[in-house]
Amino acid sequence: MDHALVRNFCIVAHIDHGKSTLADRILEVCGAITDREAVDQVLDSMDLERERGITIKASAVHLQYQADDGQTYHLNLIDTPGHVDFSYEVSRSLKACEGALLLVDASQGVEAQTVANAYLAIDSDLDIIPVVNKIDIKNVERSFALGQLHEMFGFSEEEVLHASARTGEGVHEILEAVVARVRPPEGSAEAPLRALIFDSEYNSYRGVIAYVRVMDGRIRKGDTVRMMATGRQFEVDEVGVLAPAMTPTEELVAGAVGYLCAGIKDARECRVGDTITSARHPAAEPLPGYREPKAMVFAGLYPTESAEFASLKDALDKLALNDAALHYEAETSGALGFGFRCGFLGLLHMEIVQERLEREYDMDLVATAPSVVYRVYLKNGQRVEVENPAHYPDEGSIERAEEPYIRATIMCPEEAVGPCMQLSQARRAVFKDMVHTAGGRVTLTYSIPLAEILLEYYDQLKSVSRGYASLDYEFDGYKPAKLAKVNLMINYESVDALAFLTHREFAEVRARTIVDRLKQLLPRQLFEIRIQAAIGGRVIAAGRISQLRKNVIAKCYGGDITRKRKLLEKQKAGKKRMKQVGSVDVPQEAFMSLLKI
Amino acid sequence: MRKCPYCDFYSVAGREHLIDAYVLALKAELSQVRREIGPVSLRSIFIGGGTPTVLPSGEIAGLLDLCRELFAVEPDAEITCECNPGTVDAVALRDLKAAGVNRLSIGVQSFRDEELRFLERVHTAAEGRETVLQAREVGFERVSLDLIYCLPGQTRAQWEATLGEAVALEPDHLSAYCLQIEEGTRLAERLVTRRSGYQSRHCLLPMPEDEQAELYLRTADVLREAGFEQYEVSSYARPGAECKHNLTYWHNEPYLGVGASAWSFVDGERRQNAADVEAYVASWEAREPAIAYREHCAGAQAANETLMMGLRLREGLDLEAFRERHAVDLVHERGGTIGALVSGGLATLAGGRLALTTAGLAIAAEITTALAFAEEE
């Protein structure tokens, strides 16, 4: 394959700005799929992704495009995840490309994530083609997006393409621009092999399928390759391209994007960002930028039935085979029994894992409220990392504590600046910067404790800005924290899974809110339930749920016995889905109520 | 005649043309049952389910004669017939008495016309009184009245007035049912439709749980003062006047049921006849039993049934009998829960019986659920 005819590119866009639809149109124009095959959004292969309209796993599609100059070009379209939890995966996908389409919704304009990813693309030295999408929408004012693209990234009006991914208008021009403006890949086919793993996928028949960009050298079936970070060696079973179905090829040479199967059993042996080299003629240096996935958010996952612990372990083991970022360790809770403390990249990652466990592995789970990792310096000179509020050391033994902060970029319309600032300040955010851009948009920068983001910050941001604010964030280091551990007690029994850490100033307000919420969530039961929240021995909020007074089947005769028995058994089964804390049945939602403050 | 809006049992109206064929089918079924289980002795007979008096009294007499011919009906057997005011007169009642019926269960439901209209009953309060008095005149010594309370918006005074009138008519048995809004009934639909409207909804909201509990406890007190002991969740009787027939259900003992949609419980098997009258008749015309559902009840299911039914009775559950029948020592298996129930004043554990107090009976479903067994246990 001639290097000069290869173009590797990706699409950078905000959720809902039409990335997947545009990808589908490009595939159609290149004849890679017929209309009939075009189940909407081919690139998103997991059901969950399609349902949520987000891309979790990136994939790469190989296309052949007959350009206006008469030549047939080999285009590799690399899809990138669209959520901030997966920004490392995004950065690896970008490294596999030479060019990027920067897709902006004509009516919505540039959003925070788009900016973050666009800068990532610019930093990766990609050739960028700005595209204003959704021009088919009536009365849409293109000058707004054009102005933003100019002010933020310096694109002139002439550079910007206009398209409608929905109708297909402008897609031909986009492909011509890819050919003309994106440079062909460099790299030598004769140098020692260096291939970047930018994504992987688990297949129960073939093991882990690695998506790779070959930077130098070549890979063939039968080669022995080595993962430079993990040191593991594998024999290559197959290489090929996704067209978009898996299509084996002779080899993948420098500049090519494709897949590799090598009987890899576990995603943790094939990490995104790692470099594949030849075992026989290894490269001296790996490609730069490899990073271990770092869990930012921790939560306990417990089976509702204690007997299901082994099945949960099994399910997590299997899930981890295709999710290298998932981290888990067995733990015990007084209230919830045996389960796992799991680490996630972010809240969305957590939701996805929980949903996959429930859907694909048929688990009934109770999740505790997610927590960040606190650093606690003890008086005896030790430093401990606390992932679980229940394990927070005794107040008396603590010298000082730190919590993780993030640098948050919020983009919103001018009229929403006030509410967005108010909300952020109530979340202990430290103001950093404010920049006005075209079209009445404002970019706010804050340093915020990550713990505050977990408390539905994003949802509230959306709500105070009528849906117009967008958020992107990156890790901003550990900073001192004044923490208080609040214990919740049900009928005077402390429930470890409901304990939470909070800033001292907020402790009472939050304790009150949570007690009130539990009062609504716990069904009335045989006896009165008392709920208390306490710091140490001091009760700071309390409430009670009066006992159930009436629940009886008025009439129950011969004909009715079977029916009524089944009704009771169904109720019994419903209760089994709750966790018993002492004699109180606690529904699943109660544990997550800690988040809704 | 029409179906009541709160009823979720099987019933149909307007099938009078089927009466002859239906009676033939009933007789065919009785004969078949006799062939199957032999000339067992019968302690009670209950003619009921809606308005059985749509059958001419001659036909009811014929059916009872057939029962006596096929089975050993005990000399002091309790033979009850359900009837509804506005659908029977003195002549019909006299015929029932002559046929051997010795107990009447009269569906008066309320002594307030407004409530009867809400319940879409076909009779007035006056007609209810009239029917009870006629029953007395005809010579029925054993009369039970059915009442419904906890209606939306009903006050304590209103309910006590109905209770007072009922007591004044001197029945020996009362059944007082809290109105339950069953899904799929006309009443449930009516409430839903009204609730989605904007104004006048307060009058049709179901009575709040706590108010229902108050009325429920009050009912037991009022009736005790009048000489009626509560012996089951919704049943009250003068000493010795408990309904033998219903006790059979609550003791989870065998019974036979004939007719469309009727259930039987024989040799550990529960079965139900076709619910549809036409299907039931057609099946017996072809000399085929019209059984629509069978279930062999054993293990946890059977234990749960004994538990569910037994805890409805004030006398409670005989723990030794329970252990013998289901091989489960309830106190051993559920000691924690039972201890909490007893110390919380919801149950008593004495004389080898676990029995619910009136407050416990008010939440019998919740308690049964807490005590019930899962299949794998």
Q: Where are the alpha helices (DSSP H) in A379-521?
A: 417-426, 450-454, 457-464, 507-521
Among A549, A552, A559, select the one facing B233 at the smallest CB separation. A552
Which structure tokens are listed for A571? 């109720």
How would residue A596 be classed by pLDDT, with cut points 50, 70 and 90?
low
* DSSP assigned state of A583: T
Instruction: Test B216 with A550 for CB contact under 8 angstroms.
Output: yes
Query: CATH 1.10.10.920: does it fit domain B299-371?
Result: yes
Distances (CA, A) of A414 to A16, A110, A440: 22, 14, 6
Other residues' Cβ atoms within 10 Å of the Cβ of residue A233: 11
How far apart, in Å, do the first and last CA atoms of chain A sit?
A: 58
Residue type at position B365:
A
Contacts of B340 in chain A (CB under 8 A): 526-527, 583
> From the CA of B231, how many Å to the nearest CA of chain A?
13
Question: Inter-chain contact A527–B340, Cβ cutoff 8 Å?
Answer: yes
Rounded Cα distance, B157 and B154, in Å: 8
Short-list A228, A234, A168, CA closest to A195: A228
Residue to substitute from B146, B209, B363, interface A, most A β-carbons within 10 A = B363
Contact residues, chain A, for B182 at CB < 8 Å: none
What are the phi and psi torsion angles at B229 (to 5°)? -95, 135
Chain A residues with CB within 8 Å of chain B CB: 525-527, 548-562, 564-565, 568-569, 571-573, 575-576, 583
Asked if residue A562 lies in contact with residue A519, where contact means CB atoms within 8 angstroms, the answer is: no
Q: Which residues of B193-208 are buried (b: 16+ CB within 10 A; e: fewer)?
A: ebeeeeeeeeebebbe
Cross-chain CB nearest to B369 (options A549, A558, A572): A572
Q: Is the pLDDT of residue B10 over 80?
A: no
- Taking CA atoms, what residue in A is nearest to B270? A562
Mean pLDDT of B96-115: 96
Tens digits of residue pLDDT in A128-164? 999 999 888 877 778 888 888 988 888 999 999 999 9
Of B265, B337, B362, the CB nearest to A552: B362
Instruction: Please tell me the predicted confidence (pLDDT) of residue A2.
Output: 74
Q: Where are the beta strands (DSSP E) in B249-373?
A: 263-266, 269-273, 291-296, 317-318, 347-350, 353-356
Tokens of B261: 């949609």
Q: Does B314 touch chain A (CB under 8 A)?
A: no
C-alpha to C-alpha distance for A276 and A231, rounded to whole angstroms: 10
Measured over the CA atoms of residue A353, residue A355, residue A358 and residue A361, the dihedral's sign is negative
For A527, nearest residue in chain B (alpha carbons): B344
Minimal C-alpha gap between B127 and chain A (Å):
25
Query: In A, which residues are within 8 Å of B369 by CB distance?
Result: 568, 571-572, 575
Tell which of B215, B255, B308, B312 to mutate to test the A interface (max A CBs under 10 Å): B308
* Cα→Cα distances B38→B33, B257, B358, Å: 8, 15, 41
- Long-range pairs for A45-52: beta carbons < 8 A, 24 or more residues apart: A45/A201, A48/A352, A48/A355, A48/A356, A48/A359
Q: If we measure between CA atoms, which residue out of B139, B45, B130 comes closest to residue B95?
A: B139
What residues in A contact B366, CB-CB < 8 Å? 525-526, 548, 551
Q: For residue A58, what pLDDT is reported?
A: 40
Using CB atoms, which residue from B180, B295, B368 is nearest to A562? B295
Q: What is the CATH number of domain B39-244?
A: 3.20.20.70
Chain B nearest CA to A557, separation (Å): 6
Tell me how many residue pairs between chain A and chain B have CB atoms under 8 A apart.
111
Q: Is the Cβ of B143 closer than 8 Å to some Cβ of chain A?
A: no
Q: Are the C-beta atoms of residues A260 and A212 closer than 8 Å to each other?
A: yes
The interface residues of chain B toward chain A in range 172-231, judged by CB-CB distance below 8 A, are: 177-180, 209-210, 212-213, 216
**pLDDT beyond 80 at A59:** no
Q: Which of A181-185, A320-324, B320-324 has the lowest mean pLDDT?
A: A320-324
pLDDT digits (tens, 9 = 90+) for B272-323: 999 899 999 999 999 999 999 999 988 999 999 999 999 999 999 999 999 9
**Interface touch A559/B49, C-beta < 8 Å:** yes
The answer, for B308 touching chain A at a CB cutoff of 8 Å, is: yes
- What burial letters (b/e) apply to A239-258, b meaning 16+ CB within 10 Å? bbbbbbeeeebebbbbbbbb
**Does the structure show a pLDDT above 80 at B189?**
no
Query: What percentage of chain A exceeds 90 in pLDDT?
Result: 41
* Rounded-to-integer distance, Cα A246 and Cα A220, Å: 16
Using omega within 30 degrees of 0 as the cis cutoff, is the peptide bond preceding A449 cis?
no
B242: left (phi over 0), alpha (psi -120 to 50) or beta: beta
H/E run at residue B89: none
For A244-301, the pLDDT digits (tens) are: 778 899 999 999 999 999 988 888 888 888 999 999 999 999 998 877 777 888 999 9
Residues counted in chain A: 597
How big is chain A by its Cα radius of gyration, in Å?
27
Residue A139's pLDDT is what?
A: 77
Structure tokens at B141: 């010594």
Going by pLDDT thresholds of 50, 70 and 90, the confidence category of residue A591 is confident
In eight-state DSSP terms, residue B55 is: S
CA of residue B10 relative to chain centroid, distance: 13
Task: Show the beta-strand stretches assigned E in chain B.
Answer: 41-47, 72-83, 103-109, 142-149, 173-178, 229-232, 235-237, 263-266, 269-273, 291-296, 317-318, 347-350, 353-356
Beta-carbon separation of B308 and A564 below 8 A: yes
- Which pLDDT score, from 0 to 100, does residue B197 have? 45
Closest CA to A286 of A305, A296, A271: A271
B290 φ, ψ to 5°? Answer: -100, 50
Tell if the CB–CB gap between B340 and A565 is shorter than 8 Å: no
Nearest-CA distance A578 → chain B (Å): 13
Contact in structure between A556 and B178 (CB atoms under 8 Å): no
**B311 neighbors B367 (Cβ within 8 angstroms):** yes
Chain B, residues 101-120, CB within 8 A of chain A, namely none
More confident residue, B232 or A89: B232
**What is the identity of the amino acid at A304?**
T
Domains in chain A, please, with CATH? 3-181 (3.40.50.300), 194-278 (2.40.30.10), 297-367 (3.30.70.870), 374-481 (3.30.70.240), 484-596 (3.30.70.2570)
User: Which residue of chain A comes nearest to B246, CA vs CA?
Assistant: A557
What amino acid occupies position A552?
Answer: V
Q: Is A113 helix (H, G, I), strand (E, B) or coil?
A: helix
Chain B window 325-354: which residues touch A at a Cβ cutoff of 8 Å?
336-337, 340-341, 344, 346
B366 in reach of chain A (CB within 8 A): yes
DSSP string for A25-78: HHHHHTTSS-TTT--S-TT--SHHHHHHT---S--EEEEEEE-TTSPEEEEEEE
Nearest chain B residue to A528 by CA: give it: B344
A209 touches A230 (CB < 8 A): no
Three-class SS state of A410: strand
Handedness of CA B305, B311, B315, B319 (dihedral sign): positive
Please, which pLDDT band fits residue A577 given cuts at 50, 70 and 90? low
- B149 interaction partners in chain A (CB closer than 8 Å): none
Q: List CB contacts (< 8 A) between A583 and chain B.
A: 336-337, 340
| DSSP line for B294-321 | EEE--HHHHHHHHHHHHTTBTT-EEHHH
* Residues A136, B66: Cα–Cα separation, whole Å: 83
| Dist CA A557 CA B146 (whole Å) | 14
Per-residue pLDDT at A54: 39
Domain boundaries, chain B: 39-244, 299-371
Query: What are the tens digits of pLDDT across the range A74-129?
Result: 999 987 765 666 777 788 888 999 999 999 988 888 887 788 788 888 888 899 99
**CB B364 to CB A552 under 8 A?**
yes
Contact B340 A526 (CB under 8 A): yes
Q: How high does pLDDT run on average in chain B?
A: 91
Whether the per-residue pLDDT at A50 is higher than 90: the answer is no
